[in-house]
Amino acid sequence: MTNQIPDHINFGYIALDAIVASHTNPRKTFEPTALAELTSNIKASGVHQPVLLRTLPASRLEDTTHLKPRPQYELVCGERRFRACHAAGLKTIPAMVAELTDDQTLEVQVVENLQRTDLSALEEAEGYEVLMHSAHINADQVAEKIGKSRAYVYG
């Protein structure tokens, strides 16, 4: 794959109001009961795995002008944790910040989400299609990236 992910990532605690969710996250549905359970867990013991962010891209400036304070970051991975932290009333979240292009962001989101077991079949299929088109790869290469068979991806 040509979209190498940067090897330099900054880590810190970022204010939730400095983050905006991504429009390209393949996960579109968030099961309310599971999200409530995650919120309870976070209230009880905090966030144990950081989310992945990137600096807010220029393409997102126009659709975030109404937000106060204006976000500085776009969420790449970890939207369930992000939502649960909001619901838990936290002000910050542990985060890794990487400089990612739009293509790299989409690839990370698709691969990360497709490794989950609770995606709907439609979300999974759409994720494979997006990954193939955005990264200009075929189903065989997708299968290799996600550790599934070629037949699984085609199915």
Residues taking part in catalysis: 79
Q: Could you give phi then psi for residue 88, rounded to 5 degrees?
A: -80, -10
What is the distance between the alpha carbons of residues 122 and 89, in angstroms, rounded to a whole number?
32
**Is 3 within 8 Å of 103 (Cβ atoms)?**
yes
What is the distance between the alpha carbons of residues 149 and 155, in angstroms, rounded to a whole number?
10
DSSP output for 58-92? GGGTGGGTTSSSPP-EEEEE-HHHHHHHHHHT-SE
**Is 58 within 8 Å of 109 (Cβ atoms)?**
no
What is the distance between the alpha carbons of residues 98 and 90, in angstroms, rounded to a whole number?
23
